[in-house]
Structure 1
Amino acid sequence: MLRQTTSLVPLAVAQQQQQRGMATLKSISIRLKSVKNIQKITQSMKMVSAAKYNRAERDLKQARPLGEGTKIFYESAEIAPPEDAPKKLVIAVTSDRGLCGAVHTGVARNIRDALLANPADRENTKIICIGEKSRAILSRLFANNILFVASEVGRKPPTFIDASKVAAEVLNSGYDFGSGRIVYNKFKSVVSYNVDNLPLYEKGAVSKAPKLSVYDSLDEEVIQSYLEFSLTSLLFYSMKEGACSEQSSRMTAMDNASKNAGEMIDKLTLTFNRTRQAVITRELIEIISGAAALD
Protein backbone atom coordinates (compact mmCIF):
# COMPACT_ATOMS: atom_id res chain seq x y z
CA MET A 1 0.00 0.00 0.00
CA LEU A 2 2.80 2.36 0.85
CA ARG A 3 4.62 1.42 -2.36
CA GLN A 4 1.54 2.29 -4.44
CA THR A 5 1.24 5.64 -2.70
CA THR A 6 4.85 6.56 -3.41
CA SER A 7 4.46 5.60 -7.06
CA LEU A 8 1.40 7.84 -7.46
CA VAL A 9 3.20 11.02 -6.39
CA PRO A 10 5.80 11.05 -9.19
CA LEU A 11 3.03 10.18 -11.66
CA ALA A 12 1.02 13.25 -10.65
CA VAL A 13 4.12 15.44 -10.89
CA ALA A 14 4.87 14.00 -14.33
CA GLN A 15 1.34 14.79 -15.50
CA GLN A 16 1.69 18.39 -14.31
CA GLN A 17 5.03 18.71 -16.10
CA GLN A 18 3.48 17.28 -19.24
CA GLN A 19 0.61 19.77 -19.06
CA ARG A 20 3.07 22.60 -18.55
CA GLY A 21 5.07 21.37 -21.51
CA MET A 22 1.96 21.26 -23.69
CA ALA A 23 0.98 24.77 -22.60
CA THR A 24 4.49 26.01 -23.40
CA LEU A 25 4.37 24.45 -26.84
CA LYS A 26 0.99 26.01 -27.51
CA SER A 27 2.10 29.48 -26.39
CA ILE A 28 5.29 29.26 -28.47
CA SER A 29 3.26 28.12 -31.48
CA ILE A 30 0.84 31.06 -31.10
CA ARG A 31 3.69 33.55 -30.76
CA LEU A 32 5.51 32.04 -33.74
CA LYS A 33 2.39 32.37 -35.86
CA SER A 34 1.88 36.00 -34.83
CA VAL A 35 5.50 36.93 -35.62
CA LYS A 36 5.17 35.31 -39.06
CA ASN A 37 2.05 37.39 -39.71
CA ILE A 38 3.88 40.54 -38.61
CA GLN A 39 6.72 39.69 -40.99
CA LYS A 40 4.27 39.36 -43.87
CA ILE A 41 2.82 42.79 -43.04
CA THR A 42 6.22 44.49 -42.78
CA GLN A 43 7.37 42.94 -46.05
CA SER A 44 4.21 44.15 -47.78
CA MET A 45 4.64 47.66 -46.34
CA LYS A 46 8.26 47.66 -47.51
CA MET A 47 7.19 46.85 -51.08
CA VAL A 48 4.49 49.54 -51.02
CA SER A 49 6.93 52.11 -49.60
CA ALA A 50 9.50 51.22 -52.26
CA ALA A 51 6.97 51.92 -55.01
CA LYS A 52 5.91 55.19 -53.37
CA TYR A 53 9.54 56.18 -52.85
CA ASN A 54 10.34 55.80 -56.55
CA ARG A 55 7.47 58.10 -57.43
CA ALA A 56 8.35 60.58 -54.69
CA GLU A 57 11.94 60.78 -55.90
CA ARG A 58 10.82 61.53 -59.46
CA ASP A 59 8.43 64.22 -58.25
CA LEU A 60 11.13 65.75 -56.04
CA LYS A 61 13.43 66.37 -59.01
CA GLN A 62 10.72 68.44 -60.64
CA ALA A 63 9.92 70.40 -57.46
CA ARG A 64 13.47 71.29 -56.46
CA PRO A 65 13.89 74.24 -58.87
CA LEU A 66 10.92 76.00 -57.23
CA GLY A 67 12.34 75.86 -53.72
CA GLU A 68 15.99 76.37 -54.60
CA GLY A 69 15.16 79.30 -56.89
CA THR A 70 13.31 81.12 -54.12
CA LYS A 71 16.10 80.41 -51.65
CA ILE A 72 18.72 81.78 -54.06
CA PHE A 73 16.62 84.91 -54.59
CA TYR A 74 16.50 85.60 -50.85
CA GLU A 75 20.27 85.09 -50.56
CA SER A 76 21.15 87.17 -53.64
CA ALA A 77 18.95 90.09 -52.57
CA GLU A 78 20.51 89.91 -49.08
CA ILE A 79 17.15 90.02 -47.32
CA ALA A 80 17.41 90.28 -43.55
CA PRO A 81 14.67 89.98 -40.91
CA PRO A 82 13.49 93.37 -39.58
CA GLU A 83 14.68 94.26 -36.10
CA ASP A 84 11.46 96.05 -35.15
CA ALA A 85 9.26 92.98 -35.82
CA PRO A 86 9.91 90.40 -33.09
CA LYS A 87 7.08 88.10 -34.13
CA LYS A 88 8.22 84.90 -35.80
CA LEU A 89 6.58 81.98 -37.56
CA VAL A 90 7.74 78.36 -37.66
CA ILE A 91 6.16 75.83 -40.03
CA ALA A 92 6.77 72.15 -39.21
CA VAL A 93 6.45 69.92 -42.28
CA THR A 94 5.53 66.34 -41.31
CA SER A 95 2.57 64.05 -42.07
CA ASP A 96 -0.17 62.06 -40.36
CA ARG A 97 1.44 58.64 -40.79
CA GLY A 98 3.98 56.86 -38.64
CA LEU A 99 6.06 53.65 -38.79
CA CYS A 100 8.86 55.55 -40.51
CA GLY A 101 11.57 55.88 -37.89
CA ALA A 102 12.47 59.27 -36.44
CA VAL A 103 11.69 61.26 -39.56
CA HIS A 104 8.95 63.28 -37.81
CA THR A 105 10.63 63.41 -34.43
CA GLY A 106 13.67 65.18 -35.86
CA VAL A 107 11.57 68.10 -37.14
CA ALA A 108 9.72 68.48 -33.84
CA ARG A 109 12.95 68.19 -31.84
CA ASN A 110 14.58 70.95 -33.90
CA ILE A 111 11.72 73.34 -33.15
CA ARG A 112 11.50 72.31 -29.50
CA ASP A 113 15.21 72.80 -28.84
CA ALA A 114 15.22 76.21 -30.52
CA LEU A 115 12.28 77.49 -28.49
CA LEU A 116 13.55 76.08 -25.19
CA ALA A 117 16.98 77.65 -25.80
CA ASN A 118 15.44 81.12 -26.28
CA PRO A 119 12.56 81.74 -23.85
CA ALA A 120 12.02 85.22 -25.33
CA ASP A 121 11.34 83.77 -28.77
CA ARG A 122 8.88 81.33 -27.28
CA GLU A 123 6.43 84.12 -26.44
CA ASN A 124 6.73 85.75 -29.88
CA THR A 125 6.68 82.61 -32.03
CA LYS A 126 3.71 80.86 -33.57
CA ILE A 127 3.86 77.32 -34.93
CA ILE A 128 2.00 75.85 -37.89
CA CYS A 129 1.94 72.06 -37.97
CA ILE A 130 1.60 70.36 -41.32
CA GLY A 131 0.66 66.84 -40.25
CA GLU A 132 -0.64 65.38 -37.02
CA LYS A 133 2.71 63.90 -36.02
CA SER A 134 4.31 67.28 -35.33
CA ARG A 135 1.18 68.49 -33.54
CA ALA A 136 1.18 65.47 -31.22
CA ILE A 137 4.78 66.15 -30.19
CA LEU A 138 4.80 69.96 -30.02
CA SER A 139 1.42 70.34 -28.31
CA ARG A 140 2.85 68.85 -25.12
CA LEU A 141 5.02 71.92 -24.48
CA PHE A 142 3.80 74.57 -26.92
CA ALA A 143 0.05 74.11 -27.17
CA ASN A 144 -0.54 77.86 -26.91
CA ASN A 145 1.95 78.59 -29.68
CA ILE A 146 0.24 76.45 -32.32
CA LEU A 147 -1.59 78.69 -34.81
CA PHE A 148 -3.33 75.93 -36.78
CA VAL A 149 -2.81 72.35 -37.95
CA ALA A 150 -3.07 71.02 -41.50
CA SER A 151 -4.38 67.44 -41.29
CA GLU A 152 -4.90 64.69 -43.87
CA VAL A 153 -1.30 64.97 -45.08
CA GLY A 154 0.77 62.01 -46.20
CA ARG A 155 -1.90 59.64 -47.50
CA LYS A 156 -1.36 60.92 -51.04
CA PRO A 157 1.63 62.63 -52.67
CA PRO A 158 1.58 66.39 -51.94
CA THR A 159 0.56 68.67 -54.78
CA PHE A 160 0.99 72.35 -55.51
CA ILE A 161 -2.71 72.83 -54.74
CA ASP A 162 -2.18 71.41 -51.24
CA ALA A 163 0.70 73.82 -50.70
CA SER A 164 -1.38 76.75 -51.98
CA LYS A 165 -4.16 75.93 -49.49
CA VAL A 166 -1.71 75.97 -46.59
CA ALA A 167 -0.17 79.22 -47.88
CA ALA A 168 -3.62 80.80 -48.12
CA GLU A 169 -4.34 79.81 -44.51
CA VAL A 170 -1.05 81.36 -43.42
CA LEU A 171 -1.75 84.64 -45.21
CA ASN A 172 -5.37 84.77 -44.01
CA SER A 173 -4.60 83.83 -40.40
CA GLY A 174 -4.15 87.47 -39.37
CA TYR A 175 -0.76 86.80 -37.81
CA ASP A 176 1.76 89.42 -38.95
CA PHE A 177 5.22 87.94 -38.59
CA GLY A 178 8.50 89.64 -39.37
CA SER A 179 10.45 86.51 -40.23
CA GLY A 180 10.11 82.78 -40.00
CA ARG A 181 11.34 79.45 -41.21
CA ILE A 182 10.09 76.18 -42.61
CA VAL A 183 11.51 73.14 -40.85
CA TYR A 184 11.52 70.01 -42.98
CA ASN A 185 13.49 66.86 -43.79
CA LYS A 186 15.87 67.31 -46.71
CA PHE A 187 16.33 64.12 -48.68
CA LYS A 188 19.94 63.05 -49.35
CA SER A 189 19.84 59.35 -50.21
CA VAL A 190 17.78 56.23 -49.59
CA VAL A 191 19.25 55.81 -46.12
CA SER A 192 20.07 59.44 -45.29
CA TYR A 193 18.21 62.69 -44.67
CA ASN A 194 18.73 65.70 -42.41
CA VAL A 195 16.61 68.44 -40.89
CA ASP A 196 16.91 71.72 -42.81
CA ASN A 197 15.35 75.20 -42.75
CA LEU A 198 13.94 77.52 -45.38
CA PRO A 199 13.63 81.26 -44.59
CA LEU A 200 10.42 83.27 -44.62
CA TYR A 201 10.18 87.07 -44.77
CA GLU A 202 7.50 89.70 -44.75
CA LYS A 203 6.89 92.21 -47.52
CA GLY A 204 8.63 95.05 -45.66
CA ALA A 205 11.85 93.07 -45.28
CA VAL A 206 11.87 92.21 -48.99
CA SER A 207 11.16 95.81 -50.01
CA LYS A 208 14.11 97.07 -47.92
CA ALA A 209 16.58 94.52 -49.29
CA PRO A 210 19.77 96.32 -50.38
CA LYS A 211 20.22 94.37 -53.63
CA LEU A 212 16.60 94.09 -54.69
CA SER A 213 17.18 96.65 -57.48
CA VAL A 214 19.28 94.07 -59.32
CA TYR A 215 16.02 92.37 -60.29
CA ASP A 216 14.62 95.51 -61.96
CA SER A 217 12.22 98.00 -60.40
CA LEU A 218 9.54 96.23 -58.36
CA ASP A 219 6.46 97.86 -56.89
CA GLU A 220 4.62 96.66 -53.79
CA GLU A 221 1.97 94.76 -55.75
CA VAL A 222 4.57 92.72 -57.59
CA ILE A 223 6.45 92.02 -54.36
CA GLN A 224 3.25 90.91 -52.64
CA SER A 225 2.35 88.61 -55.51
CA TYR A 226 5.84 87.15 -55.52
CA LEU A 227 5.80 86.57 -51.76
CA GLU A 228 2.53 84.67 -52.04
CA PHE A 229 3.95 82.55 -54.86
CA SER A 230 7.29 82.04 -53.10
CA LEU A 231 5.55 80.90 -49.89
CA THR A 232 3.58 78.32 -51.87
CA SER A 233 6.70 77.24 -53.74
CA LEU A 234 8.71 76.79 -50.54
CA LEU A 235 5.90 74.82 -48.91
CA PHE A 236 5.48 72.62 -51.97
CA TYR A 237 9.22 72.00 -52.16
CA SER A 238 9.54 71.21 -48.45
CA MET A 239 6.53 68.89 -48.55
CA LYS A 240 8.04 67.00 -51.49
CA GLU A 241 11.37 66.71 -49.67
CA GLY A 242 9.59 65.50 -46.55
CA ALA A 243 7.47 62.98 -48.47
CA CYS A 244 10.52 61.48 -50.17
CA SER A 245 12.41 61.31 -46.87
CA GLU A 246 9.39 59.71 -45.18
CA GLN A 247 8.98 56.98 -47.80
CA SER A 248 12.69 56.13 -47.80
CA SER A 249 12.72 56.05 -43.99
CA ARG A 250 9.61 53.85 -43.88
CA MET A 251 11.12 51.50 -46.44
CA THR A 252 14.28 51.19 -44.32
CA ALA A 253 12.27 50.78 -41.11
CA MET A 254 10.10 48.03 -42.59
CA ASP A 255 13.18 46.27 -43.95
CA ASN A 256 14.75 46.29 -40.49
CA ALA A 257 11.48 45.13 -38.95
CA SER A 258 11.29 42.22 -41.41
CA LYS A 259 14.86 41.20 -40.58
CA ASN A 260 14.14 41.39 -36.84
CA ALA A 261 11.00 39.30 -37.32
CA GLY A 262 13.02 36.74 -39.24
CA GLU A 263 15.52 36.48 -36.39
CA MET A 264 12.68 36.05 -33.90
CA ILE A 265 11.12 33.35 -36.07
CA ASP A 266 14.42 31.43 -36.14
CA LYS A 267 14.80 31.67 -32.36
CA LEU A 268 11.18 30.70 -31.68
CA THR A 269 11.39 27.80 -34.12
CA LEU A 270 14.52 26.54 -32.35
CA THR A 271 12.84 26.93 -28.96
CA PHE A 272 9.71 25.17 -30.19
CA ASN A 273 11.68 22.21 -31.56
CA ARG A 274 13.74 21.90 -28.39
CA THR A 275 10.66 22.07 -26.19
CA ARG A 276 8.81 19.52 -28.32
CA GLN A 277 11.81 17.18 -28.22
CA ALA A 278 12.01 17.59 -24.44
CA VAL A 279 8.30 16.73 -24.09
CA ILE A 280 8.68 13.65 -26.29
CA THR A 281 11.77 12.51 -24.40
CA ARG A 282 10.05 12.98 -21.06
CA GLU A 283 7.03 10.98 -22.22
CA LEU A 284 9.26 8.17 -23.43
CA ILE A 285 11.07 8.12 -20.07
CA GLU A 286 7.74 7.95 -18.25
CA ILE A 287 6.54 5.06 -20.45
CA ILE A 288 9.78 3.15 -20.00
CA SER A 289 9.79 3.82 -16.26
CA GLY A 290 6.17 2.64 -15.98
CA ALA A 291 6.90 -0.52 -17.96
CA ALA A 292 9.95 -1.23 -15.78
CA ALA A 293 7.90 -0.76 -12.63
CA LEU A 294 5.33 -3.32 -13.80
CA ASP A 295 8.02 -5.98 -14.40
Structure 2
Amino acid sequence: MNGREMKLIWLRFAAPLEMILIGIIQRCFPMTDLLLGTLKNLTTFSFVALYEKAEIKAPEDKKKHLLIGVSSDRGLCGAIHTSIAKTLKNEITNLSNAGKEVMVVGVGDKIRGLLQRTHSNYFLLTFKEVGRRPPSFGDASAIALELLNSGYEFDEGSVIYNRFKSVISYKTDEKPIFSFETVAGSESLSIYDDIDADVLRNYQEFTLANILYYSLKESTTSEQSARMTAMDNASKNASEMIDKLTLTFNRTRQAVITKELIEIISGAAALD
Protein backbone atom coordinates (compact mmCIF):
# COMPACT_ATOMS: atom_id res chain seq x y z
CA MET A 1 0.00 0.00 0.00
CA ASN A 2 1.54 3.32 -1.07
CA GLY A 3 1.15 6.76 0.51
CA ARG A 4 -1.59 7.83 -1.89
CA GLU A 5 -3.76 4.81 -1.06
CA MET A 6 -3.27 5.36 2.68
CA LYS A 7 -4.21 9.01 2.32
CA LEU A 8 -7.38 8.13 0.43
CA ILE A 9 -8.38 5.59 3.10
CA TRP A 10 -7.76 8.09 5.88
CA LEU A 11 -9.65 10.88 4.12
CA ARG A 12 -12.64 8.58 3.67
CA PHE A 13 -12.74 7.96 7.43
CA ALA A 14 -11.37 10.91 9.40
CA ALA A 15 -12.22 13.88 7.22
CA PRO A 16 -16.00 13.20 7.02
CA LEU A 17 -16.15 12.43 10.75
CA GLU A 18 -14.27 15.63 11.58
CA MET A 19 -16.64 17.69 9.41
CA ILE A 20 -19.67 16.05 11.02
CA LEU A 21 -18.32 16.85 14.47
CA ILE A 22 -17.62 20.46 13.50
CA GLY A 23 -21.23 20.75 12.33
CA ILE A 24 -22.51 19.23 15.57
CA ILE A 25 -20.42 21.60 17.68
CA GLN A 26 -21.50 24.63 15.64
CA ARG A 27 -25.16 23.67 15.96
CA CYS A 28 -24.74 23.00 19.66
CA PHE A 29 -23.05 26.28 20.56
CA PRO A 30 -26.20 28.47 20.62
CA MET A 31 -28.03 25.77 22.59
CA THR A 32 -24.97 25.08 24.74
CA ASP A 33 -24.54 28.71 25.75
CA LEU A 34 -28.22 29.02 26.58
CA LEU A 35 -28.93 25.58 28.02
CA LEU A 36 -25.71 24.93 29.91
CA GLY A 37 -25.62 28.50 31.15
CA THR A 38 -29.18 28.19 32.40
CA LEU A 39 -28.58 24.74 33.84
CA LYS A 40 -25.44 25.91 35.62
CA ASN A 41 -27.38 28.69 37.29
CA LEU A 42 -30.41 26.55 38.07
CA THR A 43 -28.50 23.49 39.18
CA THR A 44 -25.92 25.32 41.22
CA PHE A 45 -28.12 27.96 42.77
CA SER A 46 -31.60 26.40 42.82
CA PHE A 47 -31.54 22.62 42.68
CA VAL A 48 -28.69 22.36 45.17
CA ALA A 49 -29.58 25.52 47.09
CA LEU A 50 -31.13 23.55 49.95
CA TYR A 51 -28.00 21.44 50.33
CA GLU A 52 -25.82 24.54 50.49
CA LYS A 53 -28.05 26.78 52.62
CA ALA A 54 -28.79 24.06 55.14
CA GLU A 55 -25.15 22.90 55.04
CA ILE A 56 -26.29 19.32 54.67
CA LYS A 57 -23.63 16.74 55.43
CA ALA A 58 -23.83 13.08 56.24
CA PRO A 59 -22.95 12.33 59.89
CA GLU A 60 -19.55 10.79 60.52
CA ASP A 61 -21.11 7.50 61.59
CA LYS A 62 -22.84 7.14 58.19
CA LYS A 63 -20.68 4.86 56.09
CA LYS A 64 -22.47 4.31 52.77
CA HIS A 65 -21.11 6.44 49.94
CA LEU A 66 -22.36 6.27 46.34
CA LEU A 67 -20.27 7.30 43.33
CA ILE A 68 -21.94 7.90 39.95
CA GLY A 69 -19.53 8.05 37.00
CA VAL A 70 -20.95 9.67 33.85
CA SER A 71 -19.42 8.56 30.54
CA SER A 72 -20.96 7.13 27.34
CA ASP A 73 -20.82 4.15 24.99
CA ARG A 74 -18.70 5.84 22.31
CA GLY A 75 -14.96 6.23 21.90
CA LEU A 76 -12.53 8.12 19.64
CA CYS A 77 -12.59 11.09 22.02
CA GLY A 78 -9.19 11.12 23.69
CA ALA A 79 -8.94 10.66 27.44
CA ILE A 80 -12.48 11.85 28.20
CA HIS A 81 -13.54 8.50 29.72
CA THR A 82 -10.16 7.72 31.25
CA SER A 83 -10.30 10.89 33.35
CA ILE A 84 -13.62 9.78 34.86
CA ALA A 85 -12.24 6.30 35.58
CA LYS A 86 -9.11 7.74 37.18
CA THR A 87 -11.15 10.04 39.44
CA LEU A 88 -13.43 7.15 40.42
CA LYS A 89 -10.47 4.95 41.31
CA ASN A 90 -8.96 7.67 43.48
CA GLU A 91 -12.28 8.30 45.23
CA ILE A 92 -12.82 4.59 45.86
CA THR A 93 -9.35 4.28 47.37
CA ASN A 94 -9.69 7.37 49.57
CA LEU A 95 -13.19 6.50 50.80
CA SER A 96 -12.30 2.86 51.45
CA ASN A 97 -9.26 3.92 53.46
CA ALA A 98 -11.56 6.18 55.48
CA GLY A 99 -13.73 3.20 56.39
CA LYS A 100 -16.60 3.99 54.01
CA GLU A 101 -18.71 1.44 52.16
CA VAL A 102 -18.44 2.47 48.50
CA MET A 103 -20.71 1.52 45.62
CA VAL A 104 -20.45 2.70 42.02
CA VAL A 105 -23.09 3.43 39.38
CA GLY A 106 -21.65 3.45 35.86
CA VAL A 107 -23.48 5.60 33.31
CA GLY A 108 -22.17 4.50 29.91
CA ASP A 109 -20.50 1.30 28.78
CA LYS A 110 -17.03 2.87 28.58
CA ILE A 111 -16.74 3.43 32.32
CA ARG A 112 -17.83 -0.15 32.97
CA GLY A 113 -15.15 -1.45 30.62
CA LEU A 114 -12.43 0.67 32.23
CA LEU A 115 -13.26 -0.46 35.78
CA GLN A 116 -14.50 -4.00 35.14
CA ARG A 117 -11.17 -5.75 35.65
CA THR A 118 -10.05 -4.01 38.86
CA HIS A 119 -13.22 -2.67 40.51
CA SER A 120 -16.07 -4.90 39.32
CA ASN A 121 -17.09 -5.73 42.90
CA TYR A 122 -17.97 -2.07 43.53
CA PHE A 123 -20.61 -1.82 40.80
CA LEU A 124 -24.21 -1.44 41.92
CA LEU A 125 -25.78 -0.55 38.56
CA THR A 126 -24.57 0.08 35.00
CA PHE A 127 -26.39 1.81 32.16
CA LYS A 128 -25.81 1.35 28.42
CA GLU A 129 -27.04 3.16 25.31
CA VAL A 130 -25.65 6.45 26.62
CA GLY A 131 -24.25 9.05 24.22
CA ARG A 132 -25.80 7.63 21.07
CA ARG A 133 -28.52 10.30 21.16
CA PRO A 134 -28.67 13.75 22.77
CA PRO A 135 -29.46 13.30 26.48
CA SER A 136 -32.91 14.23 27.71
CA PHE A 137 -34.45 14.78 31.11
CA GLY A 138 -36.30 11.51 30.57
CA ASP A 139 -32.97 9.66 30.38
CA ALA A 140 -31.80 11.26 33.62
CA SER A 141 -35.13 10.48 35.30
CA ALA A 142 -34.90 6.83 34.23
CA ILE A 143 -31.42 6.54 35.76
CA ALA A 144 -32.57 8.25 38.97
CA LEU A 145 -35.66 6.02 39.19
CA GLU A 146 -33.62 2.85 38.66
CA LEU A 147 -31.24 3.96 41.40
CA LEU A 148 -34.03 4.80 43.84
CA ASN A 149 -35.71 1.45 43.15
CA SER A 150 -32.48 -0.54 43.51
CA GLY A 151 -32.98 -0.91 47.26
CA TYR A 152 -29.53 0.44 48.08
CA GLU A 153 -29.77 2.99 50.91
CA PHE A 154 -26.78 5.30 50.51
CA ASP A 155 -26.09 8.19 52.89
CA GLU A 156 -24.27 10.58 50.58
CA GLY A 157 -22.52 10.47 47.25
CA SER A 158 -21.04 12.27 44.27
CA VAL A 159 -21.82 12.51 40.57
CA ILE A 160 -18.51 12.61 38.69
CA TYR A 161 -18.64 14.06 35.18
CA ASN A 162 -16.69 16.14 32.66
CA ARG A 163 -17.58 19.84 32.76
CA PHE A 164 -17.37 21.65 29.44
CA LYS A 165 -15.04 24.68 29.45
CA SER A 166 -14.28 25.31 25.77
CA VAL A 167 -13.93 23.43 22.49
CA ILE A 168 -10.41 22.36 23.44
CA SER A 169 -10.75 21.86 27.19
CA TYR A 170 -12.90 20.28 29.87
CA LYS A 171 -12.58 19.62 33.60
CA THR A 172 -13.51 16.51 35.55
CA ASP A 173 -15.83 17.75 38.30
CA GLU A 174 -18.36 16.39 40.79
CA LYS A 175 -21.68 17.33 42.36
CA PRO A 176 -22.86 16.14 45.79
CA ILE A 177 -25.98 14.03 46.28
CA PHE A 178 -27.69 12.95 49.50
CA SER A 179 -30.31 10.42 50.51
CA PHE A 180 -33.69 11.49 51.85
CA GLU A 181 -32.75 10.32 55.35
CA THR A 182 -29.58 12.43 55.32
CA VAL A 183 -31.45 15.52 54.13
CA ALA A 184 -34.32 15.06 56.59
CA GLY A 185 -31.94 14.40 59.48
CA SER A 186 -29.85 17.53 58.96
CA GLU A 187 -29.76 19.76 62.05
CA SER A 188 -29.43 22.90 59.93
CA LEU A 189 -32.71 22.19 58.16
CA SER A 190 -34.49 24.22 60.84
CA ILE A 191 -33.85 27.40 58.82
CA TYR A 192 -36.81 26.28 56.71
CA ASP A 193 -40.19 26.35 58.42
CA ASP A 194 -42.54 23.38 58.30
CA ILE A 195 -41.16 21.36 55.39
CA ASP A 196 -43.49 18.46 54.73
CA ALA A 197 -41.79 15.06 54.47
CA ASP A 198 -43.39 14.35 51.07
CA VAL A 199 -42.25 17.72 49.73
CA LEU A 200 -38.74 17.07 50.99
CA ARG A 201 -38.65 13.61 49.42
CA ASN A 202 -39.92 14.97 46.10
CA TYR A 203 -37.28 17.69 46.26
CA GLN A 204 -34.52 15.16 46.94
CA GLU A 205 -35.60 12.88 44.07
CA PHE A 206 -36.08 15.80 41.67
CA THR A 207 -32.67 17.21 42.61
CA LEU A 208 -31.03 13.84 41.89
CA ALA A 209 -32.61 13.70 38.42
CA ASN A 210 -31.64 17.31 37.68
CA ILE A 211 -28.03 16.82 38.73
CA LEU A 212 -27.85 13.73 36.51
CA TYR A 213 -29.40 15.65 33.60
CA TYR A 214 -26.95 18.50 34.05
CA SER A 215 -24.04 16.04 34.21
CA LEU A 216 -25.19 14.22 31.07
CA LYS A 217 -25.47 17.48 29.14
CA GLU A 218 -22.05 18.69 30.26
CA SER A 219 -20.43 15.31 29.58
CA THR A 220 -21.98 15.00 26.12
CA THR A 221 -20.81 18.47 25.11
CA SER A 222 -17.32 17.77 26.46
CA GLU A 223 -17.22 14.44 24.62
CA GLN A 224 -18.19 15.92 21.26
CA SER A 225 -15.60 18.69 21.53
CA ALA A 226 -12.93 16.20 22.66
CA ARG A 227 -13.80 13.90 19.74
CA MET A 228 -13.48 16.78 17.27
CA THR A 229 -10.09 17.71 18.77
CA ALA A 230 -8.97 14.07 18.68
CA MET A 231 -9.95 13.72 15.02
CA ASP A 232 -8.16 16.97 14.16
CA ASN A 233 -4.99 15.78 15.90
CA ALA A 234 -5.29 12.37 14.26
CA SER A 235 -5.66 14.00 10.83
CA LYS A 236 -2.53 16.09 11.38
CA ASN A 237 -0.55 13.10 12.65
CA ALA A 238 -1.76 10.94 9.76
CA SER A 239 -0.84 13.62 7.23
CA GLU A 240 2.67 13.85 8.68
CA MET A 241 3.03 10.06 8.64
CA ILE A 242 1.75 9.85 5.05
CA ASP A 243 4.20 12.56 3.95
CA LYS A 244 7.09 10.67 5.57
CA LEU A 245 6.01 7.38 4.01
CA THR A 246 5.61 9.05 0.62
CA LEU A 247 9.10 10.51 0.89
CA THR A 248 10.52 7.10 1.87
CA PHE A 249 8.64 5.44 -0.99
CA ASN A 250 9.93 7.97 -3.53
CA ARG A 251 13.51 7.65 -2.26
CA THR A 252 13.33 3.86 -2.42
CA ARG A 253 11.85 3.95 -5.92
CA GLN A 254 14.53 6.40 -7.05
CA ALA A 255 17.25 4.17 -5.57
CA VAL A 256 15.87 1.14 -7.43
CA ILE A 257 15.69 3.09 -10.71
CA THR A 258 19.24 4.40 -10.22
CA LYS A 259 20.51 0.89 -9.48
CA GLU A 260 18.83 -0.51 -12.59
CA LEU A 261 20.28 2.30 -14.74
CA ILE A 262 23.76 1.62 -13.35
CA GLU A 263 23.39 -2.09 -14.15
CA ILE A 264 22.22 -1.32 -17.69
CA ILE A 265 25.08 1.13 -18.29
CA SER A 266 27.61 -1.28 -16.78
CA GLY A 267 26.32 -4.11 -18.97
CA ALA A 268 26.50 -1.94 -22.09
CA ALA A 269 30.05 -0.87 -21.21
CA ALA A 270 31.08 -4.51 -20.71
CA LEU A 271 29.79 -5.43 -24.18
CA ASP A 272 31.86 -2.66 -25.73
Q: Same fold (TM over 0.5)?
A: yes
Q: For residue 155 of structure 1, give the secondary structure of its aligned residue in structure 2.
A: coil
Closer/same/farther in 2, CA of residues 259 and 169 from structure 1, 3 Å limit: same
Query: What value does the CA root-mean-square deviation take over the aligned residues?
Result: 1.9
Is 1:169 the equivalent of 2:141?
no
Gaps of 5+ in 2: none
User: What residue is the counterpart of 1:91 in the other structure?
Assistant: 68
Contact preservation (8 Å) 2:109, 2:127: yes
User: What residue is the counterpart of 1:138 in the other structure?
Assistant: 115
Contact preservation (8 Å) 1:66, 1:237: no
Contact preservation (8 Å) 2:70, 2:159: yes
Higher RCO (CA < 8 A, seq sep 6+): 1
- The one-letter amino acid paired with 1:145 is Y
Is 1:50 the equivalent of 2:26?
no
Is 1:255 the equivalent of 2:232?
yes
User: What residue is the counterpart of 1:63 in the other structure?
Assistant: 39
Tell me how far apart the structure 2 counterparts of residues 122 and 159 of structure 1 sit (CA, whole Å).
36
CA-CA distance at 1:140 after TM superposition:
1.6
- The one-letter amino acid paired with 1:258 is S
CA-CA distance at 1:258 after TM superposition:
0.4
Q: Which one has the largest radius of gyration?
A: 1
- The one-letter amino acid paired with 2:26 is N
Contact preservation (8 Å) 2:71, 2:108: yes
Contact preservation (8 Å) 2:95, 2:102: no
User: What residue is the counterpart of 1:5 in the other structure?
Assistant: none
Closer/same/farther in 2, CA of residues 292 and 122 from structure 1, 3 Å limit: farther
Q: For residue 48 of structure 2, give the secondary structure of its aligned residue in structure 1.
A: helix
Q: Quick check: 93-102 or 37-46, which moved more?
A: 37-46
Q: Quick check: 56-65 or 154-163, which moved more?
A: 56-65
Superposed CA offset, 1:57-90 (max 9, x none): 4243453344223233321221111333211110
CA-CA distance at 1:278 after TM superposition:
1.2
Superposed CA offset, 1:144-183 (max 9, x none): 1101110011111111000010000000000000000000
Closer/same/farther in 2, CA of residues 238 and 170 from structure 1, 3 Å limit: same
Identity of aligned residues (%): 48
Superposed CA offset, 1:2-50 (max 9, x none): xxxxxxxxxxxxxxxxxxxxxxxxx5x1x65234412442222212222
Gaps of 5+ in 1: 1-26
User: For 1:170-185, what aligned pairs fall within 5 Å after superposition?
Assistant: 170-185=147-162
- The one-letter amino acid paired with 1:106 is S
Q: When the two structures are superposed, what TM-score results if normalisation uses the length of structure 2? A: 0.91
Closer/same/farther in 2, CA of residues 56 and 149 from structure 1, 3 Å limit: farther
CA-CA distance at 1:56 after TM superposition:
4.2
Superposed CA offset, 1:199-228 (max 9, x none): 011112222334434454311100111111
Contact preservation (8 Å) 1:116, 1:122: no
Closer/same/farther in 2, CA of residues 215 and 32 from structure 1, 3 Å limit: farther
Residue among 261, 275, 278 paired with 2:255: 278
User: What residue is the counterpart of 1:220 in the other structure?
Assistant: 197
Q: For residue 133 of structure 2, give the secondary structure of its aligned residue in structure 1.
A: coil
CA-CA distance at 1:120 after TM superposition:
4.3
Residue among 152, 159, 163 paired with 2:129: 152
Tell me how far apart the structure 2 counterparts of residues 117 and 125 of structure 1 sit (CA, whole Å).
10
